[in-house]
Amino acid sequence: SLGRESELIPRVIHQTWKNATIPPNWAWTQSFTYNLTLLPRENWTYMFWTDASALTFISTHYPQYLSLYERYKYGIQRADVLRYFLLHHYGGIYLDLDIAPYRRLEALLTLPAWACETTPTGISNDALGSVKGHPFYRFVIDSLKHYQRDWGSAYVTVMASTGPLFLSLVLREYEKLRSKDMDLGRVIVLRSEENITGHNFFLNVEGRSWQGRDEKVIAWFERHWRVTIVLALGAMIGIFEVG
């Protein structure tokens, strides 16, 4: 097994919800993840964030972004950006509540930063890992204002301003810069068929952990999913043209 001396990412797990009452659908995944941090001699730290503690965190550590954070129309957007600030400030691993570790995560701690591949956007933001102060998350934070816009569709607005589409586009721009400046750290994209032992690290549980935050967004998407796909493609083209 890999020794602790090879680990780069701190043994910290971050999870979030709007309050301390975890929905029944994900209570077992949250409990399972939390219990992993209690194993003897493992020295994990578990950090759970509510909307209230998130606001305090942003106010304390990133006050220059507080007004931007508060201007987001949807709670999902604030939940998205919170994980980027947390990984930049503390480092560690962020997991959505509907994500359960499929196996031990120590191998992921040896990477400077990682995200999981998804289609069609590129990478997902439901499971992320990073060292403290990684330049990618500094770049993500600095990009938030540029991408803060309303695309007409609630779902596309979330995806393109703070969600997986946003993160995928920012990673693409970051990699262009990193090729010119090798001092910038790497971000490893984990592909299910290419990970260390041939098995996925995470199990995605039935349901969406962001559904309880903005039910209207989910309902609109489920009724207009074909339109949403077209709008998402349009958003990508628009962002590229503006950028």
Pairing of strands 122-130, 113-118: antiparallel
Q: 164 in a domain, yes or no? A: yes
pLDDT of residue 224: 47
Domain boundaries, position 210: 7-242
Contacts of 74 (CB under 8 A, 6+ apart): 154, 157, 158, 213, 214, 217
CATH number where 63 lies: 3.90.550
Q: 1 in a domain, yes or no? A: no
Residue 142 tokens read as 């600095």
Q: Per the structure, how many domains does the chain have?
A: 1
Q: 150 in a domain, yes or no? A: yes
pLDDT tens for each residue of the chain, 243 residues long? 455 778 999 999 999 999 999 988 888 889 988 888 777 767 899 999 999 999 999 999 999 999 999 999 999 999 999 999 999 999 999 999 988 887 788 889 999 999 998 877 789 999 999 999 999 999 999 999 999 998 888 888 899 999 999 999 999 999 988 876 666 699 999 986 544 444 478 877 765 555 445 555 545 554 544 455 555 555 555 554 545
Q: 167 in a domain, yes or no? A: yes
Q: 83 in a domain, yes or no? A: yes
Q: Using alpha carbons only, what angle is made at residue 17 by residues 225 and 11, rounded to the nearest 5 degrees?
A: 110
pLDDT of residue 151: 83
pLDDT of residue 214: 54
Q: 2 in a domain, yes or no? A: no
